[in-house]
């Protein structure tokens, strides 16, 4: 899959900026300071994943998804089905967005659903039901 195809199918389509790479670098540093090997590996791949996305947006480089970032890309692709369940739970069309942010963070669920007029309470309810299985 090319990065252009990936962006169209599995992202919100918003331009990736250098600040997004730096946010991933920050997450990598947090895992390094925790001495979390699994977290370091995951965040390392995320950094390179965002670098490839940035290269596309900044320079138009449209190659295949890099081998070093395939696990990261797969992680983001797998998130789409969960977000679709969240959308349906709050009575939104399941294909309203290709957003694949981290739904394991309630604040991200609230912030994202708020863009569609979903209340904080309803977003928290969706998070509890879909993510925490409560």
Bridge partners for 64 per DSSP:
2
Confidence class of residue 101 from pLDDT cuts 50, 70 and 90? Answer: confident
* DSSP string over 71-130: HHHHHHHHHHHHHHHHHHHTT--TTS------TTSHHHHHHHHHTTT--HHHHHHHIIII
Read off the pLDDT of residues 109-120 as tens digits, 9 standing for 90 and up: 999 999 999 999
Long-range contacts of 40-48 (CB under 8 A, 24+ apart): 42/71, 42/72, 42/75, 45/69, 45/71, 45/72, 46/72, 47/21, 48/72
Nearest to 49 by CA among 26, 70, 28: 70
Give percent of the chain above pLDDT 70.
100
**How many helical (H) and strand (E) elements, i.e. helices and strands, does the chain have?**
6, 0
Query: What are the extents of the domains in the chain?
Result: 3-131
Cβ neighbors of 81 (< 8 A, separation 6 or more) are none
pTM of this prediction?
Answer: 0.82
On the question of pLDDT at 13 being above 90, the answer is no
């Amino acid at each position: 899959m090319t990065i252009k195809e990936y962006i169209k199918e599995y992202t919100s389509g918003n331009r990736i900026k250098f600040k997004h790479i730096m946010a991933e670098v920050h997450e990598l540093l947090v895992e390094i300071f925790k001495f979390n090997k699994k977290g370091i590996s995951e965040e390392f791949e995320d950094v390179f994943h965002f670098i490839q996305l940035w290269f596309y947006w900044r320079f138009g480089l449209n190659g295949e998804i890099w081998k070093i970032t395939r696990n990261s890309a797969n992680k983001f692709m797998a998130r789409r089905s969960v977000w679709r369940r969240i959308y349906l739970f709050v009575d939104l069309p399941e294909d309203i967005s290709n957003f694949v942010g981290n739904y394991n963070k309630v604040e991200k669920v609230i912030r994202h659903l708020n863009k569609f007029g979903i209340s904080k309470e309803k977003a928290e309810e969706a998070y509890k039901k879909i993510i925490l299985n409560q």
